[in-house]
Amino acid sequence: MIRSKTARELDEWIEAGKNSLVGSFAGGVEKDLNAVKNANISTWSNGQTEGQITRLKLIKRQMYGRAKLDLLQAQLIRES
C-alpha cells in the first residue's frame, strides 16, 4: 500500500489487523483513518523538516547545561 501510494486496501488491512498481534495499532489507524489515507496517497513529505528538528535536538542535548541561546545559535550556524 505504501509503496504503491494507494489506500484501497487499507480498510481490508485494518479489519484483518484487528484480529492479529497488531490489533491495537490497527485500532489507532482506524481512529485517524482520514489522516492515514491522505498521508498514504499524498506526494508531500515532511522528512526534511523532521531531519532538521532531529539535528537541532541532538545539538541541544550535546550542549545541555553548558551555554545559553547565543552559543546554541553559533553552534547551529557552524553545523549548517
Instruction: Name the nearest CA neighbour of 1 among 47, 35, 36, 46.
Output: 36
Are 34 and 42 a contacting pair, CB within 8 Å?
no
User: Over the stretch 9-41, which tens digit does the pLDDT of each residue have?
Assistant: 888 889 899 989 999 999 999 999 998 888 888
Segment 75-78 long-range contacts (CB within 8 Å, at least 24 positions apart): none
What is the dihedral angle through the alpha carbons of 42, 45, 46, 48, rounded to the nearest 10 degrees?
A: -170
Please report, for the chain, the start and end positions of each structural domain, with discontinuous segments joined by +. 10-41, 47-79
Q: Say which amino acid occupies 46.
A: N
Is pTM beyond 0.75 here?
no
Are 1 and 40 a contacting pair, CB within 8 Å?
yes
All three cell numbers of 34, joined, read 482520514
Is the model's pLDDT at 5 over the cut of 70? yes
